[in-house]
Structure formats: structure tokens, C-alpha cells
Structure 1
Amino acid sequence: MDIKEEWVILEEIKEALQNSDQSRAAENIQKYLNKVENIPLNIAITGETGSGKSTFVNAFRGIDKEDDGAAPTGVVETTMEVTPYPHPNYPNVTLWDLPGIGTDSFPAEQYLEHVGFEKFDFFIIICDTRFRENDVKLAQEIQKMGKKFYFVRSKIDNDVYNEKRSQREFNEETTLAQIREDCIKGLQKLGVKAPQVFLVSSFDLHLYDFRLLEETLERELPEHKRNALLFSMPNVSLEIINKKKKALKSKIKYYATLSAAVAAVPIPGISLVVDIGVIVGVSTKYVFAFGLDVPSLKKRSQTTGVPYEDLMDVILSPLAAKKITTDLIIKVVQSVGTTVASMATEEGCRFIPILGIRLAMAFSFTSTYNILSTFLDILADDAQRVFKKTLGLNTSV
């Protein structure tokens, strides 16, 4: 869905609400939310054989090479054809592992035609030593076709480790600056003007330049694709967690409005059922967005070496690391007295002549909005505590 289409749907929602057409408003809100959450994002990962493309694909998706659906990795070319790898939690986001450029099967001159360049939103060109002529040829062809590309220098952790062992007076920042400058000069010699190179370790995404890469991609993507990228990103910084929280917060008003629209239906009890259903679905999205589901937490424990139990110790929300069910939501909501009172008042308002339905709608909007805001705040705080715990930092937020 592009910006124009989004604007049209939002105008239809506004018009329906102004005309008190709650049914049409609810239908358009649901259509809007479905479209927003299913915007496709296709990311091409390419480079020469053995540069670490498949490892990057797995790291970006938050999975290990041993997991089901992982891209196969190895020291020789393991990608023999264009292979899609959907994100495990956001299937609208797909990373495409492309064959190494310059192989006999995929010569540089015919590479883009072979891989079907038109379906990709942008290209990430990866190398593990120096970018070569084939990489530059590819970048130039991508540019001619109006697509974005980004140079990623992989396996930086290996370089830092080797330099640290070989130098008496090792300085990490100096080493990183030298690697970056060497890559930039090499690309300039091959004809790339003002190249930007991101230094990345697929095993330690929170280090080096991955955060800068994320910021650059987000800035240069079309607006309607940015959230798709953001939610699929692993939580490698507190800033990404806060960005996710802000993006999720902006959608709460639509869920609350949907709840209010259903409250206009003059059937006792139906609004409460729908409210709880909405809260269950949205809360589940929050848990996955912040990586607080059990598989994500276990994966984070494995990759960081922090025991799973230690991560669980810093989590305060009763929704994290659990399957979100109606019974669980009702139990948690009941612990918030004012919210329960608001939902009960909503049902009571239905029996008030003339203004009853309008009052019920107002209470429905308020209670749903407040519940989702509260859940979002708590889960975002938990995500920050988990992130800090994995870095050995103070976990107070």
C-alpha cells in the first residue's frame, strides 16, 4: 500500500465516523490495519562467493544456522539459486539470498537479469575482505535501474580479533577506521563516488555499524515500507526498541476506534468480546515485536551466553514469554481496577435512553486505548531490561 492509497482509506474512515456509519468505519479500519501489516519488503543480499551472505540473512532474521528455515552456510558457495527466506515473525518481509556474483553460473554481466532485480526494494552487497570489480559493476547496474544499494563489510569480528592478537598496542577504533578507509579507497579507485561502507559482524549485530545501517535503510526507504523494516529488525539497540514502541503506539488509536465502532452494535456483551479479542491479537504482536516470546528469548540466551532464567528474572510483564489467551488477558485486565470499571460502565450505558450507545462507544474507546497503552509500555520496558541484561548493564529502565 503506497502513501496515496493509505490516505484514501484514512479519509474513508474519517468520513464514515463523521456520518456515524460505524459499520463502514469498522470495515475500513480493519482494511487499513490489514494492509499496513502486510506491506511487502524484499531485501536482496548479494556479493561474491563465501562473503557471508547466508550468515547475514540468518542473523537479520534472528535465527541460527541449525534452525528450521535457516539459509545454509559454509566456506564455499552454498547458494546456487535465488532463494527467499521469509522472516519467521513477519512473513511480509523476505530476505533473498542471491548466488555469488561472478561465478560461472552467474557472470557479472548477466547477474541482475538472472536474479530478477525488479522485485527487490534494495540490495545489500557483502564482502569479507575488499570489494572487487564485480561488486562495483553490480552497484553501477543497480544504480542505473533506479534501485538503492549498500556496501557491507562482513566478518569484522574476525579482523578485530586477529589485529588484537598481532598488535602490542591494539586500539579497536583505529583498526575499524583503517578497515573502513581501506574499503572506501578501494571502491573509489574502482569508480564509486563517495561510497558508504558499513562494518558488520553477523554474530554481534549490536556492535560496529549495524545500527547505522538500520538508520540509513529506514531513512531512505519509502515511508510506507519503514515499519515493515523496523519490526523485522532484531533488537540490537535501545533506540530500535524505542522506535518500535513509537510505531506501535501510533496504531493504538485505530484499534480503539475499531473497538468503539463495535460498541455501537446494540447487542449486550458483543463489544466486550470484541474488545478482548482485539487486545489478545494486538498484545501478541507486541510480544513478538519486542522479542519477548519464548523462542526469541531462548535464541537471545544462546547467542549472548546469558542464561534464559536470568533473562526471565528481569521481565515484569505477565504477558511476556507466554501464549496470549483470552483467559490471560481477562486475568491481567482484572488486576487494573479502573479499566475493569470502565468496561463495566460501557455495558451499563447501553440501557441509557438516547445517549446510551454514544457513551458506550466512548467508554469502549477509552478502555481499549488505555489497556493497549499500558501493555505496550510494560513490554517495551521489559525489552529494554532484557537488552541491557545481555550486555551486562544495569537493567533499571
Structure 2
Amino acid sequence: MDDPFVSHLPIDEIKEALQNQDSATAAAMIQNHLDKQNNIPLNIGITGESGSGKSTFVNAIRGIDSRDERAALTGCVETTTVVTPYPHPNYPNVTFWDLPGIGTMNFPADKYLQEVGFEKYDFFIIISADRFRENDVKLAKEIQKMEKMFYFVRSKIDHNVRDEERSQRDFNLKVTLDGIRQNCVEGLQKQGFKAPQVFLVSSFELHMYDFHQLEETLERELPAHKKNALLMAMPNISRGIIDKKKEALHTKIKYLAFVSAFIASAPVPGLSIAADLSMLVSTVVEYQVTFGLDNKSLQSLADSANVSFNDLRAVMKSPLSATKITTELIVKVLSLSVSEAALIAAEEGSRMIPVFGIPVAMTFSFLSTYRALSTFLNMLADDAQSVFTRALGLDTSV
């Protein structure tokens, strides 16, 4: 994966600060850059005709049950009457906009993009529950003219599969899905699209059908600086997504380790350790939330997967999962590693060495932070894979 942080990192300013022996400023620059990367805005417009399942999709992609107070309203009739933003519960910089159905009285097709504020969206997802109709095509063509991306999503596939399974003597899932997809593609081709791509999705079973391909397509076609925002907000519906999240989080570790090293250059006993512990706590909280291993996310997963919370907890091995992350807990986990404890002790002890003490302390600080965060990330990523496997009832050997 390309490193999303290097391209905009103020390298020259950091070098200048270090040449002026101003390590605190260098550390602040890196931390400020990381904070900005974590808050890059991503606005996604979810649109289509009324009753197509837009609101249900918005809830599903945010990992929220329809009964949650933060959920978009769902129902058999048009429930979205105004443009409504739904920030991701853990990544508020990512907003899913539930747009009113195109062609409704208040949002006629010919004025739709103007009425919903076209400019604010990075891309659109056009949803249909059966076939894509004239209004969907009009909207797609207008989006195309304005040089923004859009994606056709055929929703409620689980309903179609169940209906076909009941009615066909020799039911074949692949044949059924290929038929639905081809029907949608041919319908769009008749209306002027040469090679449309249609993603088959069930909002209640995101791990099945084409949602993974949709996620990969969005990630591939987004500008580089937006990709990380999308990835972090994606639900953990495949081992591949968990692995990509782990890789993205790992790219940040060396920068956090540099921050730790620069702080260690200050000749103040105990300052570096205190700062490192604070950084470790906040970063592990980020890991926990990203992998859905906080208690709230786990309970939501248990409810949607129809498994018990305790069943999910039973497959987790890390002491950092499904618990409140505190300084005391981090110290306890670090103390279990002899090598990590030795690095921390060496950092403080090296400060007593004349001339070379501070550079040596900085090196130890970098190494201890890098190793600790790498270990914590591996532990939590492994637990995320185990929880995913248990929630879906998959064979752990797959």
C-alpha cells in the first residue's frame, strides 16, 4: 500500500527544526500532520428512487442497527424527505448523505442535483431495489457530465435469492446472481450506458455478494488522500478489509515513533515515558475502534450476527480487546515483555551518559514505541480476524 502520509508531510520544515535543535517543533509538526490525515473529509451521496433501500444501506455501511438512535429512518414508504447527513459513528470526517428519492414531488429529476447540493459529494451511490429506471439513468448521466464518480448498486439481493430458492427446483446461486446482474446491465445499456458495472448488495449481509468488490472499486478510484478515510470507515466484512486496515495503521507507526524520539530529546526525566504512555493509550483506542473491538461495536456485531457477546469475547486473546484502555493497562501489558521493559529502562538510564546520552535515549524511545505499537496492532488485528470468523460462523482453517 502506498504511504498516504509522506506526500504531504512538511519534510523541509521538520529538517529545519531539527537543524535548529528544536525537536519539540518537529514532533508537533508530525503529530499535526497525522491529525490532519485522520480528519480528511469524505462525503458520499446515497441516492435512488424512493423505497430502494437507501436508508438501510446507510445504516449498514456505518455498522449501525436500524433501531439505533443514530440510524437513518427506514420503512416501506419514502422516509427521507430532506437531505440528511449521517456521520460515521467512529470516523465523523466520513459522512454518508441520505438523499431523498429522485423524481419525488419535492425533488424532481431535472433539478435534483441542484436541490441536493451536488458539489459537496465526493461520489454517488445510486441504489435500486429491482431495475434501474429512467430517473436513475438521468441522474447518472448528469453526474457523468459534471465529472464525478457514481456507482450502481442493486439492493435487497437477499430477498431475490430467497424467492428464487423457494421457487426453483434446481436452484443455483451463481446462476441466479449472474442473471440479476445481467438483467440490470442490459437495462442500463438500452438506456445509453456502454459498459455499466452493477454491484449486487444485501444491506443485511454485507459480507456476501458484491459489497467487497464495491469497496475495492471505490478505494481504487478515489483520490489518494481520500482512500484512507474510506478504508477506516468500512465495516469489517472480510479478512481482506481487516488486513488492509492493519497495513494502513502500520504505516503511521514510524511517524509516531519519531514523535516519541523527538520528545525524548528533552532533558527532563520522566517526560518521555509519560508522553509515550499517553500516545500509546490514544493509539490503542484508535486500533480498538478501527477493528470494532470496543464493547459498543462488539455488542452491535453480536446483535446483527445473532451470536452472544460472550461468544465473541471468548475468541479474543489480547488483554486490549473489549476493555477500557488506560495507562495502567498499557503499563501492565508492556511489563509482560522483558525486552520492551528493558528498552524503556535503557532510555531513562542513557540520559545520564555525557554528550551521547540524549541521542541514545532518542534511539531507545523510537525503538520501544515502534515495537510496542507494532505488537499491540498485531494483537488487535488477530482478534479482529477471530471475531469476524466467529460472527459469521466460518471455518477457522479457511
Q: TM-score, normalization: structure 1?
A: 0.97
Say yes or no: does 1:224 pair with 2:225.
yes
Aligned-pair distance for 1:62? 0.2
Unaligned runs of 5+ in 2: none
SS of the counterpart of 1:234? coil
Distance in 1, matches of 2:148 and 2:8, equals 25
Aligned-pair distance for 1:260? 0.4
Distance in 2, matches of 1:93 and 1:343, equals 37
Distance in 2, matches of 1:394 and 1:22, equals 50
Cα contact 1:386–1:395 (8 A) shared by 2: no
Cα contact 2:125–2:151 (8 A) shared by 1: yes
Q: Which residue of 2 is the match for residue 37 of structure 1?
A: 38
The letter of the residue matching 2:269 is P
Sequence identity percentage: 62
Q: Which residue of 2 is the match for residue 106 of structure 1?
A: 107
Q: Which residue of 2 is the match for residue 292 of structure 1?
A: 293
The letter of the residue matching 1:134 is N
Distance in 2, matches of 1:192 and 1:234, equals 30
SS of the counterpart of 1:158? helix
The letter of the residue matching 1:99 is P
Count of residue pairs the alignment pairs up? 395
Say yes or no: does 1:80 pair with 2:81.
yes
Alignment of 1:10-29 (within 5 A): 10-17=11-18, 20-29=21-30
Alignment of 1:173-188 (within 5 A): 173-188=174-189
Per-residue Cα deviation, 1:251-294 (whole angstroms, up to 9, x for no partner): 00011000000000110000000000000000000001111111
Cα contact 1:10–1:32 (8 A) shared by 2: no
The letter of the residue matching 2:160 is D
Distance in 2, matches of 1:270 and 1:97, equals 47
Per-residue Cα deviation, 1:206-251 (whole angstroms, up to 9, x for no partner): 0000000000000000011101000100001000000000000000
Cα contact 1:53–1:126 (8 A) shared by 2: yes
Distance in 1, matches of 2:336 and 2:395, equals 29
Aligned-pair distance for 1:16? 3.6
Per-residue Cα deviation, 1:352-396 (whole angstroms, up to 9, x for no partner): 100000000000000000000000011101111111112222336
Kindly report the root-mean-square deviation, in angstroms, between the aligned alpha carbons of the 2 structures.
Answer: 1.4
Distance in 2, matches of 1:20 and 1:130, equals 65
Say yes or no: does 1:157 pair with 2:158.
yes
Q: Which residue of 2 is the match for residue 138 of structure 1?
A: 139
Q: Which residue of 1 is the match for residue 343 of structure 2?
A: 342
Distance in 1, matches of 2:337 and 2:153, equals 48
Say yes or no: does 1:172 pair with 2:173.
yes
SS of the counterpart of 1:80? coil
Cα contact 1:6–1:32 (8 A) shared by 2: no
Distance in 2, matches of 1:9 and 1:67, equals 42
Aligned-pair distance for 1:12? 2.8
SS of the counterpart of 2:124? strand
Q: Which residue of 2 is the match for residue 252 of structure 1?
A: 253
Q: TM-score, normalization: structure 2?
A: 0.97
Aligned-pair distance for 1:308? 1.4
Unaligned runs of 5+ in 1: none
Q: Which residue of 1 is the match for residue 303 of structure 2?
A: 302
SS of the counterpart of 1:266? coil
Per-residue Cα deviation, 1:30-87 (whole angstroms, up to 9, x for no partner): 1111110000000000000000000000000000111121000001110001000000
Aligned-pair distance for 1:4? 11
The letter of the residue matching 2:158 is D
The letter of the residue matching 1:329 is I
Distance in 2, matches of 1:8 and 1:284, equals 24
Say yes or no: does 1:68 pair with 2:69.
yes
Say yes or no: does 1:378 pair with 2:376.
no
Per-residue Cα deviation, 1:130-184 (whole angstroms, up to 9, x for no partner): 0001000000100111110000000000000000000000001000000000000
Per-residue Cα deviation, 1:294-332 (whole angstroms, up to 9, x for no partner): 111111111111221111111001001011111111111
The letter of the residue matching 1:277 is S
Distance in 1, matches of 2:334 and 2:318, equals 12
Distance in 1, matches of 2:307 and 2:152, equals 32
